[in-house]
Amino acid sequence: MQKIIDRFVKYVTVDTQSDPNNSAFPSTDKQWDLARILVDELKEIGMDDVTLDENCYVMATLPSNVDYEVPTIGFIAHIDTSPDFTAVNVKPQFHQNYDGKDIVLNETENIVLSPSYFEDLLLYKGQTLITTNGTTLLGADDKAGITEIVSAMEYLIQNPEIKHGKIRICFTPDEEVGKGAHMFDVDKFGADWAYTMDGSQVGELEYENFNAAGAKVIVQGKIVHPGYAKGKMINSMLIANEFISSLPQDEIPQETEGYEGFYHLYSLKGEVEKTELQYIIRDHDMTLFEKRKKVFQAAADAINKKWGATLVQVEINDQYYNMREKIEPVMHIVDIAEEAMKQLSIKPIIKAIRGGTDGSQLSYKGLPCPNIFAGGHNFHGRYEYIAAESIQLATSVIINIAKITAERAKK
């Protein structure tokens, strides 16, 4: 346990935030810092074919230790952390034998992690919680996944009596800005299928995700002196508000759950003469997804018709699609992960991801790739936490998947 904790802490204290506003790949140079650390560590534990390519993808191989044919499986996690909240100077805090009560993350700023608000905390009573100090995110998304993959590989190397086929691992950059799979070389990776270790609660096993689009709305106004503005000024911020209000008000993230889609306004920058809105559009159902994009465009068209001018311009770009279509023909890869959890007395929670993962894009690139829990909660903010025991369980799931895959191949 302590070795796993130490490894996790080493990773999260390296700042690897990605940048959605930088078109370079990777989007931040600091992601290379952790990539190079991982290369050295993978070589140290005895992995083969350890590479770091020009796009900051770390790959390595654990050779098969059996004399019969076994499918090559892969495990993937991402290096970067979310640009939504600072990851500078992460200082993890440890709470052993968690008692189910409020945790004061930062007494000076009165920042409290409370089960009265975050009920999932109570799942981890009696365990060792790792939290932030209230001023940064933690980075369990997805450095817990990296920790689990490296720890599992080390365990298999140190315990050769556990039989397994060839295993490939990869750590990707820029997942948090939607580019994690863009430069992923599926042929080089050479796996028959893979798993991203990038889920949340213990037991999560996911092979469905949102269809996703990003949308930019530019609203043009007209600035004149406010004292003489009657009939002349067009305040783009008010037009933008009209656009926002014209979308379904109950189809937003905080009002939806399960398979319900949404429109999410995540950025607004405006002055009288010009306002820019940034949205994401999400739905699991492709038909409803396409309908949402049409509703979005229709909102702009209605305002332009009302004003008799093109004040509102919309640009919509698809980002990724629901991987269910690519996983269902090979459902045995989900069955293996489910069995791996059951052997550890973990109840599989098979549900749709209300988000995206590298696995979605990779599945469409020819690498079927369900998502498995990494253990963290409250990603992308100051209330992020993970139980050390969850990291340990996810590590064991990886080991079990390798064992079960080899056992099934032998039959």
Q: How many residues does the chain have?
A: 411
Token readout for 338 is 């489910």
Task: State the CB neighbour count (10 A cutoff) for residue 112.
Answer: 15
Would you call 80 a catalytic residue per the annotation? yes
Catalytic residue among 15, 19, 41, 80: 80
As given in the structure block, the two tokens for residue 90 are 């992460």
Q: How far apart are CA 28 and CA 11, in angstroms?
A: 16
Report yes or no: 315 and 216 within 8 Å, Cβ to Cβ.
yes
Angle between helices 140-158 and 2-12 (to 10 degrees): 140
Active-site choice (15, 175, 283, 338): 175
Angstrom distance (rounded) from CA 397 to CA 201: 14
Q: Is 290 a catalytic residue?
A: no
What domains, with CATH codes, occur in the chain? 2-209+322-410 (3.40.630.10), 211-320 (3.30.70.360)
Determine the pLDDT at residue 1: 87
Sequential pLDDT tens for the chain (411 residues): 899 999 999 999 999 999 998 999 999 999 999 999 999 999 999 999 999 999 999 999 999 999 999 999 999 999 999 999 999 999 999 999 999 999 999 999 999 999 999 999 999 999 999 999 999 999 999 999 999 999 999 999 999 999 999 999 999 999 999 899 999 999 999 999 999 999 999 999 999 999 999 999 999 999 999 999 999 999 999 999 999 999 999 999 999 999 999 999 999 999 999 999 999 999 999 999 999 999 999 999 999 999 999 999 999 999 889 999 999 999 999 999 999 999 999 999 998 888 777 888 999 999 999 999 999 999 999 999 999 999 999 999 999 999 999 999 987
Residues 6+ apart with CB under 8 A from 39: 50, 51, 52, 58
Q: Tell me, what's the pLDDT at 411? A: 74
Distance CA 175, CA 182 (A): 9
- Separation of alpha carbons 29 and 40, rounded Å: 18
Question: Which pLDDT belongs to residue 257?
Answer: 94
Give the C-alpha separation, 46 to 153, whole Å: 9
Grouping H, G, I as helix, E, B as strand and the rest as coil, residue 28 is coil
Identify the pLDDT of residue 267. 93
The model's pTM = 0.88
